[in-house]
Chain A
Amino acid sequence: MAAVLPSRASSISSQNILGRLALLVALAWFVFFAAFPFVWMAITAFKRNSDLYNVRNNPFLFNEPPTLQHMELLFNGTLFPRWLWNTAFVAVLVVVITLLAAVPAGYSLARLARGWGHRLGIGIFLTYLVPPSLLFIPLSRVIAELGLQDRLWALVLVYPTFTIPFCTWLLMGFFKSIPAELEEAAMVDGCTRLDALRRIVLPISVAGLLTAVIFAFTLSMQEFVYALTFISPSAEKTVGIGVPTDLVRGDVFYWGSLMGGALVSSVPAAILYSLFLDRFIAGLTSGAFK
């Protein structure tokens, strides 16, 4: 017995070490997977062309001294700062419009639509799946009739057509995960349903709301087709369309500046995700396990 105990202990200990090692390997893989695009963008943005194009060079290292010429072209040779501002302007307004529509819609579907809520929710979500490459032609007519062509307001009007369905569906799942008894107790105490939503449901739904905000914001940031077809003056472009227009010239791609543009515009979104990661995961998963 005395001989067996140390052996079992050592076996458990080696199992622990193996388990931890497997965990670390998996973690390292995920870190590599998540960080690689950023590292690649950063390396390419500061690499000389002669270094970048030489296939005998190690692509992960600076084989020649780094250069700022790509960033200079990006910031001084294009309207990149203006495009960043335009993107932020559109994204913030789209987030506000999305929340104003998706919160009441999601709540109504979760609480008031009874048996039809789920089916309606799926129906609304399905509209999100209709690709912009099909919708941009009929929407062009709408934008022209409203006199919004070549203005950022065209995007502010159109982007909610895909952010609202997605966020409604997302928030519907989230609201379902909140016990109805909380609102009922508030209403017993004299609250109207609107008060219950405002005072009880929304404060405990911050995770879900943040998830909707982040999704609406990033979907607006990365959109391409509508921005291409509705906006043509350089000063009105968003990052997603401005960068490829000025840095893909015929068949010549300015890789360093393209990567610099992608890096600079993706960092704020990455920070936003990181800051609210725990709430974001809670928001995504709470509806899923209901």
Chain B
Amino acid sequence: MSDEHEKAKWVRTADNRWKRVTRREFLKIAAAGAAASMWPYVNVPSVWAQRRRLTILHWSHFVPAFDTWFDGTYTKEWGRTNDVEVVVDHIPFGQIPARAAAEVAARSGHDLYQHISPAASLEPETEDMTDVVEPLMKKYGMIELAKRSTYNPKTKKWFALSNSWVPDPGHYRKDLFDQVGYVPDSWDNVLLAGRRLKQMGVPIGIGISNDIDSNYVLRDVIWSFGGTTQNANNEVTINSKNTVEAVKYVRALFKEAMTPEVLAWDASSNNRAMLAGAVSYVFNAISIARTAEKDFPQLAPNIQIWKPPRGPNMLGGKRLGAQHVILAYMIWKFTPDDRKRLAKQFLTDFINNWSRAFEGAELYEFPSFPGTVPTLKARVANDPAAARFGQPGKYKELNTAPQWSTNVGHPGYANSAEAEIFDTFLIPQMFALAATDRMSPEEAVQWAERQIKPVFAKWKGRGLM
């Protein structure tokens, strides 16, 4: 006891007086404090189980203010009106498929799950959205690429509802292209300008790697050269003279107008390289131009937006580009019926109010139901942020985006096989094999066909296409 007394310490008690405690008492107090601090982790508020609740999973939007508006204003207003607690969670866009797989495996997850790329392979796990989509489509119309990314004509099922899509225009350094005397209006011009721009130390920056941007832009090249991965009847058509010419073109572009960095391109590379002044031409959503307006004011007026280049006249001279992002909500089949109804009601109300979201997204997102934003063309043609740099019409080319944008899987639907080919990056790999001379262009296209055909056979066997 005397030993313990010698080891006693002074502690402050609840009534703010000091008291001498033994080591044993001190440990008890410390343990009680630790237990108290853990209480919030152990205790689940019972109110959670009692209130009507709607959970939504979103990507982290490139415009932070959009998330602030959606999480903190719009969903709160909707929740108050409908007596529902709305909870919005966010994850990085690259992790959306993994999280979806986990929710499906667990048969438990968010009531509304937002994807940003084709997700048709999840169709068997999703609720049919026909009762939500078709009334909205009658009221507002629907962009074709949104329909082709969320509807399965074989099963006649709307497996998702797309609220918006994001155009993928070219961003080019107008000052530099003017110096070499070209406009990136055709792929030929891009190569001709790129040769000189590379000598000037500002090469072209088109990714040839396993990343989402490469996945889109390399499809643009195939389509512009008249090639496709499938036809409208879901038959594999990649092995064509047109695709071989597209691969030959990208190989030449890689060797003569780009640097090996494009083989390690990731989702941030376009933005980083363009804003650093290290490249002269990329394909991206307008996040580059918007970031330049906010953080790089000297550079902003020189970065201009232009539609995708035309392909060679001898191959049809098409001008086509994939959407950069297709935002679409799914409702899991295993979601309880009352929450499915709530989720569908939320979506209907959200689309009816989508003009507010359009403003919040700073022209980044375009409506899948075009009638929801009747002022879109005027708004795009006169942008206040660009007007600060004396260029109010900087984004006006985006008004033509519905004409030159299409879905993954063009000219067919973004079906399960196309979604899997997209997720496994087979198209960038085909281009990389030829660009790095590991295969000839013809061999690379044959290689891609060998990879793609079993994927189509698998999904056809499952009755989804």
> Taking beta carbons and an 8 Å cutoff, which residues of A are in contact with B?
49-50, 53-55, 77, 89, 133, 136-138, 140-141, 143-144, 149, 151-153, 225, 228-230, 232-234, 241, 244-246, 248-253
Q: In the complex the two chains form, what is the Cα distance from A272 to B271 in whole Å?
A: 37
Interface contact A251-B41, CB-CB below 8 Å: no
In the complex, what residue of chain A is closest to B295 when comparing beta carbons? A49
* A89–B39 CA distance with the chains assembled, in angstroms: 12
Q: How far is the CB of A233 from chain B (nearest CB, A)?
A: 6
- Asked if B93 is an interface residue, CB under 8 A from chain A, the answer is yes
Residue on A nearest B166 in the bound complex, by CB: A250
Known interface pairs A249-B62, A253-B268. Does A152 touch B103 (Cβ–Cβ under 8 Å)?
no
User: Whose C-beta in chain B lies nearest to the C-beta of A145?
Assistant: B106
CA distance in complex: A252, B271 (Å): 7
Q: Known contacts A55-B277, A233-B87, A252-B287; can you find 16 more A-B pairs with CB under 8 A?
A: A49-B295, A50-B295, A89-B41, A144-B107, A149-B108, A151-B44, A228-B95, A232-B90, A234-B90, A245-B60, A249-B64, A250-B267, A251-B268, A251-B270, A251-B271, A251-B285
Say whether, besides A53-B296, A149-B108, A252 and B95 are in contact (CB < 8 Å): no
B residues less than 8 Å from A252 (CB atoms):
62, 268, 271, 287, 291
Contacts A50-B295, A228-B99, A232-B91; A250 near B61 (Cβ below 8 A) = yes
Q: B287 near A140 (CB under 8 angstroms)?
A: no
Q: Roughly how many angstroms separate A136 CA and B102 CA in the complex, as a whole number? A: 7
- B105 at interface by CB-CB < 8 Å: yes
Residues in B with CB closer than 8 Å to A249 are 60-64
Establish whether residues B102 and A151, one from each chain, have CB atoms under 8 Å apart when the complex forms: no
B105 touches A137 (CB 8 A): yes
A89 in contact with B38 (CB, 8 Å): yes
Q: List 9 A-B contacts (CB under 8 A).
A: A50-B296, A55-B277, A89-B38, A137-B101, A232-B90, A241-B91, A245-B90, A250-B59, A252-B62
Most chain B CB neighbours (cut-off 10 Å) among A138, A143, A230, A245: A245
**B319 CB–A CB distance under 8 Å:** no
Q: How far is the CB of B104 from chain A (nearest CB, A)?
A: 8
Any chain A CB within 8 A of the CB of B213? Answer: yes
Q: Which residues of chain B from 388 to 427 have a CB within 8 Å of any chain A CB? A: none
Q: Which residue of A lies closest to B62 (CB)?
A: A250
Q: Is B284 an interface residue (CB 8 A)?
A: yes
Asked if residues A250 and B287 are in contact (CB atoms below 8 Å), the reply is yes
Closest Cβ of chain B: how far from A135's Cβ, in Å?
Answer: 11
Query: How far apart sit A261 and B276, CA to CA, in the bound complex (Å)?
Result: 23
B173 at the interface (CB under 8 A from A): no
Known: A246-B90, A251-B213. A229 touches B102 (CB 8 A): yes
What separation, in Å, do the CA atoms of A136 and B109 have in the docked complex?
A: 14
B305 at the interface (CB under 8 A from A): no
Interface positions, chain B 302-357, Cβ under 8 Å from A, are 325
Interface of B toward A, CB cutoff 8 Å:
38, 41, 44, 57, 59-64, 87, 89-93, 95, 98-99, 101-103, 105-110, 213, 267-268, 270-272, 275-278, 284-285, 287, 291, 295-296, 325
B287 / chain A contacts, CB cutoff of 8 Å: 250-252
Chain B nearest CB: distance from A228 CB in Å? 5
Contact between A228 and B98 (Cβ–Cβ < 8 Å)? yes
Residues of B close to A225: CB separation below 8 A: 98
Q: Are B98 and A53 in contact (CB under 8 A)?
A: no
A7 → chain B closest CB, angstroms: 54
Q: Do B99 and A250 touch (CB < 8 A)?
A: no
| Interchain CB contact under 8 A, B102 and A54 | no
Q: Which residues of chain B are near A143, meaning CB under 8 Å? A: 106
Assembly CA distance A137 to B275 (angstroms): 39
Contact A250 B93 (CB under 8 A): yes
Measured CA separation A230–B57 after assembly (Å)? 13
Interface of A is mostly: helix
- With a CB–CB cut-off of 8 A, which chain B residues contact A136? 98, 102
User: Bound complex: CA of A50 vs CA of B276, how far in Å?
Assistant: 9
Q: How far is the CB of A280 from chain B (nearest CB, A)?
A: 26
Query: Which residues does chain A contribute within 8 Å of B270, judged by CB atoms?
Result: 251
A241: chain B residues at CB < 8 Å are 91
CB pair B268 A141 closer than 8 Å? no
Q: Shortest beta-carbon distance, B65 to chain A, in Å?
A: 11
Expressed in whole angstroms, the Cα–Cα distance for A55 and B272 within the complex equals: 11
Min CB distance A151 to B, Å, is: 7
Residue in chain B with minimal CB distance to A226: B102
Asked if B272 contacts A53 (CB within 8 A), the reply is yes
Q: List A contacts of B62 (CB < 8 A).
A: 249-252
Which one, B64, B106, B276, B291, contacts A149 given CB within 8 A? B106
- Cross-chain contact B101 with A246 (CB below 8 angstroms): no
A251 pairs with B91, CB closer than 8 A: no
Measured between beta carbons, the chain B residues less than 8 angstroms from A248 are 60, 92, 268
B102 touches A140 (CB 8 A): yes
Tell me, in angstroms, the Cα distance from A138 to B107 when the chains sit together: 11
**Given A137-B101, A138-B105, A248-B92, does the pair A53, B275 have CB atoms closer than 8 Å?**
yes
Taking CB atoms, residues of chain A closer than 8 Å to B98 are 133, 136, 225, 228-229
Docked complex Cα distance between A229 and B100 (Å): 8
Tell me which residues across on chain B come within 8 A of A232, comparing CB atoms: 57, 89-91, 99, 110
Assembly CA distance A89 to B99 (angstroms)? 23
Q: Which of A144, A251, A252 has the most CB of B within 10 A?
A: A251
Q: How far is the CB of B150 from chain A (nearest CB, A)?
A: 20
Question: Closest approach, in angstroms, between the C-beta of A87 and any C-beta of chain B?
Answer: 13
> For residue B57, which residues in chain A have a CB less than 8 angstroms away from its CB?
232
B90 → A minimal CB distance (Å): 6
List the B residue with the shortest CB-CB distance to A152: B41
Cα(A277)–Cα(B295), bound, Å: 43
Given known pairs A228-B99, A245-B92, the reply for A250 and B276 (CB within 8 Å) is: no
Which B residue's beta carbon lies closest to that of A53? B276
A64 to B135, CA, bound (A): 56
B268 touches A244 (CB 8 A): no
Q: How far, in whole Å, are A151 and B87 apart by their CA atoms in the complex?
A: 15
Nearest chain-A residue to B298 (Cβ)? A50
Residues of B within 8 A of A89 (CB): 38, 41
User: Roughly how many angstroms separate A225 CA and B92 CA in the complex, as a whole number?
Assistant: 12
Shortest beta-carbon distance from A260 to chain B in Å: 17
Note all chain A residues with C-beta closer than 8 A to B38: 89
Complex: A137 Cα to B104 Cα, angstroms = 9
Asked whether A245 and B296 contact (CB < 8 A) given A136-B102, A140-B106, A252-B268, the answer is: no
What's the Cα separation between A230 and B106 when bound, in Å?
10
Cα-based distance from A232 to B103 in the complex (angstroms): 11
Q: Which residues of A contact B87 (CB under 8 A)?
A: 233
